[in-house]
Structure 1
Amino acid sequence: MVEQLGFEFAVQPRRLTKVSPARLATFADCPRRYRLTYLDRPTPVRTGPWAHSTLGAVVHNALRALFELPPERRTPIRAAQLLSEHWQDAGFADAEQAAVYRDRAKTWIMEYVEHNDVSTTPIGLERWVSAPVNPDPGKPPSMIIEGRADRIDERGDELVVIDYKTGKRAPDEYEARSSQALAMYAVAAARTLRKPCHRVELHHLPTGTIAAAEHTGESLRRHLARAEETAEDLRVATDTLSAGGDGEVLFPANVGTRCSWCDFRPSCAEGQTAGPAAKSWELLAP
């Protein structure tokens, strides 16, 4: 059961920082982007849509719709049809480029269905999971981890967390094992669904690669400890800002090449000086 992981899920204190993998990654990557995304209201001016994000969302939505069908209807042809039904052109250079990637994505999803067992219905699709946790066993919860997992399978007596990828590079076991997001989903899924969860998988649609890792209680605790450190820095900065602190100082811009494709580039003077703005389709796999 969940207790086998060695985490404490006792009654939570009054003020626990809620963190998701996306929030932690954003703050660690660039505190300024975190403030612009989650704290500043009204939300500052953003760039337009990115083609690689559109492509990823379409594939995710098509796979979710596929697994919502009865097993006998989960065929490669139906998968391609669902891809077309969910398709969007946002962020692509033009209709011609969008059509090329639509056809590629159809091939990806058809081959995925053909070469993988899709007959078992997942226990969770885009499932929201949450858990109050503390990396130190026996201590009261220090934060709440939460987020939406792409897919959660039930295999035997355990759960498996699956994340779909459509990026340029095929993942490997190291990437699956080092993913803080997957580790957090595993812990939160175990708490939410009351079953052990140690295995995490990255499914790369363009290459058909499945990168898997088996976590131990200790490896999950290490991920939670790193998440707790970031969560504490985030909490202190947020509370100080609320008390009247200087947002420019508390949430500094982490300037680098990433600024070229940051969603909030139009609202960040420092980011604009880092280099030219990327075109909305430049991060697509060639």
Structure 2
Amino acid sequence: MGQLGFDFGEQPKRLTRVTPARLSTFDDCPRRYRMNYLDRPTPQRSGPWAHSTLGAVVHTALRELFDLPVQRRTPERAAALVTQHWKDGGFADAEQAAVYRERARRWVADYVEHNDVSGDPVGLERWVSAPAAPEGGPPSLIVEGRADRIDARGGELVVVDYKTGKRAPDEYEARASQALALYAVAAARTLRKPCRRVELHHLPSGTIAAAEHTDDSLRRQLRRAHETATDLRTATDTLSEGGDPDEVFPARTGRHCAWCDFRPSCADGRRAAQAVLPWALLASRDDGAMTE
């Protein structure tokens, strides 16, 4: 990324390849990281989550909308794409799924109605990648991932991430997001244009939370990524050398254990928090939190 002055020259023999999802998973719980990315066969997971199903459908609908000619990017077509790709996984029953299908249709229709969708993004779920050296010198890691949308505006790139969760994000959350910062670094490298602006588009509320990164703020996020990647690599090497899996990748328990995908395979997690039902994390719910 030229504007940061990183050296993208000759690379060392060993680079740690990381994605925002891998870094976040390891930070949240090393054991969950091991179960997800290293253990084979993969340990037993929980069933589908309704909020994940909902988010995936909305993302798919918006991706396909931008694949259409501009004149067909209408609120009606956006809503129809939600119906076309709808799934019921994780919902309590068909009635609840139908309620959220209609909410999702309304969210995407309102999004198209109130935002300019006439431009053609330079990337839709585009894979971007960049070697990076947070402290200067030869690169120490490769940051990469799949960004929801990358726009070209005024000669620069803008990273857009769609959100469908309960809470509307703010500027602080956009600025603090390690994922968005890493996408900005990787997009600039991959597409050869400056990228500083990142945006969270919250469909349920219509909120757009935006932040402008500086060289310093991007470096700080890269330092964080480098520190996590170093710990991750050390743990992985120790495991491969015969280290005890549960000691090398300990469970980091908390209330997040209530909705962890690997709860069925983690006794520590089951002791730490009571499980929530698969639809408990949906946005704009009318009922209270429910548990098993």
- TM-score range (shorter-chain normalised) is over 0.9
SS of 2:208's partner is strand
d(CA) in 1 for partners of 2:273 and 2:109? 39
Task: Write the distance in 1 (CA, Å) between the matches of 2:57 and 2:163.
Answer: 12
**Structure 2, unaligned stretches of length 5 or more?**
286-292
Aligned to 1:165: 163
Q: Is the 8 A contact 1:177 1:212 kept in 2?
A: yes
Percent identity, aligned pairs only, is 73
**Greater Cα offset, 273-282 or 81-90:** 273-282
Aligned to 1:222: 220
Aligned-pair distance for 1:237?
0.2
Which amino acid in structure 2 is aligned with residue 143 of structure 1? L
TM-score, normalization by structure 2: 0.96
Per-residue CA distance 1:162-182 (angstroms, 9 max, x = gap): 000000000000000000000
The count of aligned residue pairs is 284
Code of the residue aligned with 1:57 in structure 2: it is A
> Which residues in structure 2 correspond to 1:102-181 (within 5 Å)?
102-137=101-136, 139-181=137-179
2:115 and 2:167 mapped to 1: Cα distance?
20
Query: Matched residue of 2:128: which SS?
Result: strand
Counterpart CA distance in 1 for 2:99 and 2:17 is 40
Query: TM-score normalized by structure 1?
Result: 0.98
Corresponding residue for residue 39 of structure 2: 40
CA RMSD of aligned residues (A): 0.7
Instruction: Spell out the pairing of 1:57-136 with structure 2 (5 A cutoff).
Output: 57-136=56-135
Instruction: Tell me by how many angstroms 1:275 deviates.
Output: 2.6
Give the Cα–Cα distance (whole angstroms) in 2 for the partners of residues 251 and 132 of structure 1. Answer: 26
Of 242, 245, 249, the residue aligned with 1:244 is 242
* Amino acid corresponding to residue 195 of structure 2 in structure 1: C
- Structure 2 match to 1:205: 203
260, 263, 267: which one pairs with 1:262?
260
Could you tell me which runs of 5 or more consecutive residues in structure 1 were left unpaired when the two chains were aligned.
none
Stretches of 4+ aligned residues off by more than 3 angstroms: none
Query: What displacement does 1:10 show?
Result: 1.5
8 Å contact kept, 1:152–1:161: yes
Q: CA deviation at 1:5?
A: 2.3
Give the C-alpha shift of residue 11 in structure 1.
Answer: 2.3
Q: Deviations over 1:163-204 (max 9, x none)?
A: 000000000000000000000000000000000000000000
Match of 1:273, SS state, is helix
Matched, 1:232 2:230: yes
* Paired amino acid for 1:228: H
Describe the superposition over 1:109-138 as per-residue Cα deviations: whole angstroms up to 9, x where unpaired.
Answer: 00000000000010000000001101123x
Partner residue of 1:8? 7
